[in-house]
A = this chain, B = another copy of it.
Amino acid sequence: MALLSVLTPVLAVVLCVVIGFMLVRSRETETTATTSPGETEGAPKADFRPWVDQDLQDGTETKGKDDEDGDWMDSNEEEDILHVPYSPPGYPVETMLERSKDFYTLMNQRRSVRFISPEPVPREVINNAIRTAGTAPSGAHTEPWTFVVVSDPETKHQIRRIVEEEEEINYRQRMGDKWVQDLSRFRTSWIKEYLDVAPYLILVFKQIYGSLPNGKKRTHYYNEISVSISCGLLLAALQNVGLVTVTSTPLNCGPQLRLLLKRPANEKLLMLLPVGYPACEATVPDLKRKPLDGIVVHI
């Protein structure tokens, strides 16, 4: 009985400890349960994207802040830059209306064209189009673009080989049985004759970082938006001289093409544009564009 009276409180305490420990453990498990989804579902949901070109999954294309406010040219560096008066030529209202209409008409004739003539195009025309692309605004005026213009037939062919090889893998993996059933039907989609035929291939690289005077890397925020805007100007410039192209983003070819073209590690392929005159037999899908009231809201 004395022994029992000695043990009773001990047992009670041990019981309390066990219960307490179990409670703590269950709380711990809960904590793990609420944090790990954050790592295996949350982050992943953002990171696991099988359709994304691996070369582009570097997290650098996220929009960043290039300066204290959101204006692209307001970087602190500019505080020391001399400001100069700016008075571009103006037009009377009637002329503005006419010019705006004419420019729209011209741009509205642009289509993505895959049937490109091998007919040579003066290099200076291409250079002027690229000069035009280079007038685009960019985050903190970093001008994070490199335009690689390929006219050498051998290099064009190597590019075609790389692109078609990757495309074939993409097709076969995606199409599976359908592919085997009717290979020929899809053949035209990954065979890219225009990569050999077009007089120029313009490969647009975005520079995801630059280097500071001290040798350190300088992240180029907004580099993808900036380079895409510059591509918009490039498309306008090409259309303005009667040349055609097709906006393509070859999947998973970036690293190989970068090595082929000997571009540095800070450059990533954003787009590949075959450029030339349209072929005589060129066709385009009979697509319509949204009307103005489908894309604009006035307030």
| Contact in complex: A298, B151 (CB < 8 Å) | yes
Within 8 A of B (CB), among A261-290: 261, 270-272, 277-278, 280-287, 289-290
- Within 8 Å by CB of A251, from B65, B86, B128, lies B65
Which residue of B35, B78, B151, B231 contacts A299 across the interface (Cβ within 8 Å)? Answer: B151
Pair A137/B112 contact, Cβ less than 8 Å: yes
Asked whether any CB of chain B lies closer than 8 Å to the CB of A16, the reply is yes
Is A183 at the interface (CB under 8 A from chain B)? no
The tally of residues in A whose CB lies under 8 Å from a CB in B reads 160
A277:B90 contact, CB within 8 angstroms: yes
As for how many copies of this chain the complex holds, the number is: 2
Smallest beta-carbon distance A197→chain B, Å? 15
Residues of B contacting A97 with CB < 8 Å? 122, 124-125, 128
Q: How far is the CA of A131 from the CA of B97 in the complex (A)?
A: 13
Task: Give the shortest distance, in Å, between A240 (CB) and chain B (any CB).
Answer: 5
Complex Cα distance A207/B6, Å? Answer: 74
Classify the interface of chain A: helix, strand, loop or mixed.
mixed
Q: A283: which of B50, B86, B134, B246 is its contact (CB, 8 Å)?
A: B86
A113 an interface residue at 8 Å Cβ cutoff? yes
30 A-B residue pairs with Cβ-Cβ distance under 8 Å, sorted by A, are A2-B2, A20-B21, A21-B24, A28-B31, A43-B43, A46-B47, A52-B63, A69-B250, A70-B163, A70-B248, A71-B248, A73-B246, A83-B286, A84-B286, A88-B278, A91-B241, A96-B125, A96-B242, A99-B241, A101-B128, A104-B135, A134-B295, A136-B235, A148-B296, A149-B296, A149-B297, A155-B299, A225-B270, A228-B229, A232-B233
